[in-house]
Amino acid sequence: MESSYPHARSNACLFYVIGASGSGKDSVMNRIREHWPKHIMIAHRYITRSADAGSENHVALSSHEFLQRKDNQFFALDWHANGHYYGIGCEVDVWLDKGVDVMINGSRAHLEQAKKRYGCTLIPVVISVESSILKERLISRGRESLEEVEQRLIRSNQLNLQPIKGAIQLDNSGYLNEAIEPFNQYYQQRLLSIQSCTVDKNSSQLMDEKG
């Protein structure tokens, strides 16, 4: 979809997670969900690949089904990569409009498309991994040849040289709980800020009523 996100009534955020293949995006997102179950919705992706392919709990669609939904504007975001179509359902707009923070598994190549639609509502979350560790993970999962692994490492290093302004940076080279700590610190401050603004707003309304 090309139109901009139409609702700005809430202060909800769209956390747009990006990282190289093998960086552990799914694991990081699942651990964040465990830490903030009452505050953050994790959106499922719609993908034209088998439901049992990979570790992601996605919604599998045929190419026909995907394009049918795209034509009917059922996707808030969509892109094509690695021979598959990927989509984020427009239900995320409903969640955001209701004031619920949302986290999605995004694509770095389509970050600008997402920014164009969501503007300041979108906050990038960049997951990085030390090159040697990333190489071990890619080899151990056995999906690609050594040559393909090397190509992924080259692309990953190239992307790491392009910093993203305003992004929350997570290093997933070690333990998951350590990896998500910068996000937890950010999100705790966000909740405190929202709470403070709510208290100030209520106090102001009370003063107006008394005045």
Of 93, 91, 90, nearest in space to 12 by CA: 93
* pTM of the model as a whole: 0.86
Domain boundaries, the chain: 14-43+100-202
Token pair of 34, please?
């465990």
CATH number of 14-43+100-202: 3.40.50.300
Q: How far is CA 203 from the centre of its chain?
A: 35
Dump pLDDT digits (tens) for 74-89: 999 999 987 899 999 9
CA distances from 112 to 26, 119, 154, 173, 179 (A): 22, 10, 22, 27, 25
Type of residue found at 2: E
Dump pLDDT digits (tens) for 130-151: 988 888 888 888 777 888 888 8
